[in-house]
Each structure stands twice: as C-alpha cells, then as structure tokens.
Amino acid sequence: MTFDITSNLWPKNERYAFFRDKKIVPIKQVGPHCASTVLAMLTGQTPEYFQGRINT
C-alpha cells in the first residue's frame, strides 16, 4: 500500500468514516512509544502488545 497524504480518519463521506463512533480514551505514553500507544488506544490492547511487532 502506498502512502496517501489525502486520507482522513473522519472523511466527509459517512460511508468511509473510520472510528467515527469509537470512543477514544487517551492513555499516558511511557517512553518513545507514540505509535504503539496510539494503536493501543484504537484497538484496546496495551502498548506493550505492539512494541517489537511494528516497525516505526
């Protein structure tokens, strides 16, 4: 998949909206793990679950 600079999490077209109805609860980031922290907020996993599994 190529990078799409015009993509949106909340596009104007309701049919293609991602996370519009999801309640995102902020969690404290510990250390240099911003990507795993955000993924944890979106999925309900812990940040530790993603550390070592993603390449950021």
Chain segment 33-49, per-residue pLDDT in tens = 899 999 999 889 999 99
SS3 content of the chain, % helix, strand, coil (to 5): 30, 0, 70
How many angstroms separate the CA atoms of 50 and 46, rounded? 7
Q: Please state which of the ranges 13-17, 38-42, 49-53 shows the lowest mean pLDDT.
A: 13-17
pLDDT of residue 49: 94
Domain residue ranges of the chain, discontinuous segments joined by +: 26-56
pTM of whole model > 0.95?
no
